[in-house]
Amino acid sequence: MKAYEVVRQHIEERILAGELSVGSLLPSERDMAADFKVSRAAVREALRMMGAQGLITSRVGAGPNSGTRIAGQNGPALGRLLQLHVALSEFPIDDVVEVRVMLERLSATAASANATSNNLAKLGDILAEMESDHMELEQFNDLDTRFHVAIAELGENQFVTVLTTAVRQALASPIREASDELPDYQRFRRDLNRQHRRVFEAIANGDAARAADLIEEHIRTAYAILPMGGKKD
């Protein structure tokens, strides 16, 4: 095992054992190098890799928030990792879409139970922006991601929100590329917005079963139209 792997494995094992939690401060590079009898370069490499995975954050200085700590926001890193695996065809798009359907049915159901006029405001604002008369693909795709993640957030299940964000990030590039090939993208966008509006209204009315069915119909309908690779015959 390489020196940096020794350091990384030790930190990961302490996380899994519950000895390190979000916000825990790690020892200095010098102390870890001495403890593991490795070079500081090996420690830095281990920390660099864990930082890229979203597991730690580092801040220089002498304040109370300085140093290297266990991170608490790993969604973007998880999404990026999943996105790379999808790009390499390790997870076929069909399989990722099926997972997305399951997650978003769960999110829509939970969101319907939690919906109030106050917490629906964010979702409604995103939808209103999406329904602008004309919008370029890139902007709409970003808003579309925000809309689906906002539903997951409304469901108040943090793990489902992280997974939903990761799956939606993994599909963002294929969706964008496929949308760009459509002969009438603006018409497709208007159809999506009508579906989004129906989902929003079902959630606002607290109709969990209808919201779940509509979100699944929306995802499958869009996927059937978009010329994305990896579809099954």
pLDDT band at residue 232 under the 50/70/90 scheme: very low
How far, CA to CA in Å, does 187 sit from each of 128, 157, 192?
17, 34, 9
Q: Is the pLDDT of residue 28 over 60?
A: yes
Distance CA 92, CA 230 (A): 6
The topology (CATH level 3) of 3-70 is Arc Repressor Mutant, subunit A (1.10.10)
- CB neighbours (10 Å) of residue 150? 21
Q: What is the average per-residue pLDDT within 71-82?
A: 73
pLDDT band at residue 76 under the 50/70/90 scheme: confident
Two domains, one topology: 3-70 and 75-225: no
The pLDDT tens digits of the residues spanning 113-168 come to 999 988 899 999 999 999 998 888 999 999 999 999 999 999 999 889 888 888 88
3-state secondary structure 121-154: HHHHHHHHHHCCCCCCHHHHHHHHHHHHHHHHHH
Distance CA 32, CA 29 (A): 5
Q: Is the pLDDT of residue 89 over 80?
A: no
Identify the CA nearest to 222 among candidates 162, 144, 164, 151: 144
CATH 1.20.120.530 fits 75-225, yes or no: yes
- Share of residues in the chain with pLDDT > 70 (%): 93
Residue 38 falls in which region: left (phi positive, over 0), alpha (psi -120 to 50) or beta: beta
Domain ranges of the chain: 3-70, 75-225
How far, CA to CA in Å, does 56 sit from each of 3, 11, 64, 132, 135?
19, 10, 16, 39, 37
- The pLDDT value recorded for residue 231 is 47
- CB neighbours (10 Å) of residue 145? 19
Tokens in use for 63?
A: 């304040």
- The pLDDT value recorded for residue 233 is 40
Q: Is the pLDDT of residue 83 over 90?
A: no
Distance CA 65, CA 167 (A): 31
Write down the mean pLDDT value for the chain.
89
- The pLDDT value recorded for residue 63 is 66
- The pLDDT value recorded for residue 64 is 67
Q: What is the average per-residue pLDDT within 95-102?
A: 91
The pLDDT tens digits of the residues spanning 205-225 come to 999 999 999 999 999 999 999
Q: Are 75 and 119 in contact (CB under 8 A)?
A: no
- The pLDDT value recorded for residue 84 is 76
